[in-house]
Amino acid sequence: MESVTSSTAHRGPAVGRGAKMRAAVLAATVAELTETGYAALTVEGVAQRAGVHKTTIYRNWKTPDALVIDALTGHFATDIPIPDTGAVDDDLRVLARSLIATMTTPAGRALLTTVLSDAVRLPALAAMKSALFEDRFRRAAPVVTRAVARGELPAATDPAEFLTTLAAPIYFRLVFTAEPVDEATADRAVAVALAAARAGTLTAL
């Protein structure tokens, strides 16, 4: 201490190091989440897997929960691209298939599992869950409105209703049943949603 001396403004903060370890820890967290689940998640375990010492984690994240939030928020950022092929059928097929593609990866499963686990008690995670679906639906809504504009679907078709009908069977199988979820599942979901919409059952309340 004493004098910081007049010259040296502020020396090298050495901030480049934390980035790598941060990435490693976040990745390790997701991995642990997939393997052991949120309940059994231990900072020790994450540290070990990341090749880091638990002290480091405790110093960089005030609480283990913050770590989880942080880890999941990353994947959250990876958004599904919204197609615009000119035909509803194709748009929806692409949409459903990419949804399934992202959700059947280990990382996707980790997000889904954790979001459904007891971690929902964390307000931040609960908010994330709502935001995730609201956001995806809002982003995908144009697919429906464009189809309506083109006359491919009834004018009264509600985008949110439609997308819920499309997504529900996919998530249902992912979460509840042990059935495999693949392209066939996607295509069937599309067919069902389209049939329902064309029958006029997917209007706003």
Partner DNA sequence: CGATAACGCAACCAGGAGTTGCAATGGAGT
Partner DNA sequence: ACTCCATTGCAACTCCTGGTTGCGTTATCG
Q: Which does 171 bind (CB under 5 to 8 A by kind): DNA, a second copy, none?
A: a second copy
| CA 42/CA 70 separation, integer angstroms | 15
**Interaction with a second copy in 149-188: which residues (CB under 8 A)?**
161, 164-165, 167-169, 171-173, 175-178, 184, 188
In the complex, least distance from residue 58 CB atom to a second copy, rounded to whole angstroms = 20
User: What is residue 87's three-state secondary structure?
Assistant: coil
Closer to DNA by CB, 2 or 151: give it.
2
Nearest residue to 22 via CA among 66, 52, 55: 52
| CA 53/CA 51 separation, integer angstroms | 7
Count H helices and E strands in the chain, helices first.
9, 0
Stretch binding DNA (CB under 7 A), from 10-18, 127-135, 165-173, 175-183 = 10-18
| CA 197/CA 178 separation, integer angstroms | 28
**Interaction with a second copy in 100-119: which residues (CB under 8 A)?**
116-118
Concatenate the DSSP letters of all residues of 100-162 into one string: HHHHTSHHHHHHHHHHHSGGGGSHHHHHHHHHHHHHHHHHHHHHHHHHHHTTSS-TTB-HHHH
**Interaction with a second copy in 127-146: which residues (CB under 8 A)?**
129-130, 133
The residue within the footprint of DNA, chosen from 23, 35, 36, 51 (CB under 7 A), is: 51
Residues near a second copy (CB under 8 A): 37-40, 116-118, 120-121, 129-130, 133, 161, 164-165, 167-169, 171-173, 175-178, 184, 188, 191-192, 195-196, 198-199, 201-202, 205
Residues near DNA (CB under 7 A): 4, 8-18, 21-22, 42-44, 51-56, 58-60, 63-64
